Amino acid sequence: MIKNTRYTLTGTRLAKLCGVSQGTVDRALHGRSDINPETREKILSVAKKYGFIFPEDRPDMSTKRGVIGVVVLDVSNEYFSNLIMYIESYCREIGYAISVMFSLNDPKNELTCIESLYRMGVDGLILCPVGGGKDEDDMEIYRKYLLSLDIPVVTVGNKISGINYVGIDDYRAMKEVTEKVISLGYKRLIYTHPLQNNSDVYAGAQLLRKKAFTDTTGKYGSYTIVCKLPQALEIAADCSKNDAFICSSDLYALRLLNLAESKGAGIIGFDNVSAIDTIGLGLDSVSYDIKMTAEKVMSLVCGGKKEESSEIIIKHNIISRGSL
């Protein structure tokens, strides 16, 4: 449990998270009998999960501290490290600092990061969210929790309803990629992705990319295989010029590139990491402006808490280098 010493939970805030009245919250917290046992259990569970306390005196934290909190999955993906770099640069220009934490793709870690930054007194929060778990009720509580924070919150890459968002149109981008591959005459399309059954149901960007692929190939009646990297590597070892690998990340495409090219198969990645040009690899990929993403994120996080959320879509492009 995380004790929040800056933004304490009011009865009103907990009531919003649980979808009940403030009076019902009071009855649950004070152990009164005139409340449905299941409702009491839900309220106490949410209060415990989010680590809220009710001190008698709330400290006056109305003065800005000049710190922006950033939560990303990790920095193994170049996208996150570049995003952090550009955000820090913009913050420095306006006299702000950033505090960065890592969720490691774990909803519990993500919540811990958010509450820790919130407790520190950050003036805004930039979040590349995992989500809140695969349970629909947990996700809705998580969404309400973010909405209840009295600081600006901006998500990047994965959308959460009602929260400010900056990112590309992942569905449209992957649809265009898939249509391009189909138009080039490949007979078998192998889609490589990180999703494990339904365990990553709230990894929004990856889920949208996968859906775009399956929707588009279904429309054209293409022969497809949807798999994770280990299986894709096995397929690549015995592929042919009739095959094309569509990867939801350059991390997978780079692992498959040599095998695919040696067999004459096509391949395309996603994210257009700088290593492709640095090493001089001929890998096609989907590109988008990370610097502009950081700029738009900062415009939202520094704009103050607003009643309605904003959505900013960054333009994407398919970069051709000859791998298709």
| pTM, entire model | 0.76
Digit-coded pLDDT (tens) for 1-19? 334 433 445 677 778 888 8
Query: How far is the CA of 301 from the CAs of 87, 113, 182, in angstroms?
Result: 11, 17, 40
Query: Which residue would you say has higher pLDDT here, 92 or 199?
Result: 92
Q: What is the pLDDT of residue 261?
A: 95
**Mean pLDDT, rounded, of the chain:** 86
Check if 67-167+290-313 and 170-288 are the same fold: yes
At residue 309, what is the residue type?
S
CA distance linking residue 296 with residue 168, whole number of Å: 12
67-167+290-313 CATH, one of 3.40.640.10, 3.40.50.800, 3.40.50.1460, 3.40.50.2300: 3.40.50.2300
Digit-coded pLDDT (tens) for 266-291? 999 999 999 899 999 999 999 999 99
Instruction: Name the fold adopted by 170-288.
Output: Rossmann fold (3.40.50)
Digit-coded pLDDT (tens) for 161-185? 899 999 999 999 999 999 999 999 9
Where exactly are the structural domains of the chain? 1-62, 67-167+290-313, 170-288
Digit-coded pLDDT (tens) for 196-244? 544 444 457 888 999 999 999 999 899 999 999 999 999 999 999 999 9
Architecture of domain 1-62: Orthogonal Bundle (1.10)
Q: What is the pLDDT of residue 38?
A: 87
Q: What is the pLDDT of residue 200?
A: 45
CB 110 within 8 A of CB 56: no
Residue 112 contacts by C-beta under 8 Å, 6 or more apart in sequence? 2
Query: How far is the CA of 271 from the CAs of 29, 206, 232, in angstroms?
Result: 48, 12, 19
Q: What is the pLDDT of residue 106?
A: 84
Helix residue ranges per DSSP H, the chain: 11-18, 22-29, 37-49, 78-93, 107-120, 136-148, 170-183, 204-220, 229-236, 250-262, 275-279, 290-301
Digit-coded pLDDT (tens) for 20-31? 888 888 788 777
At residue 301, what is the residue type?
V
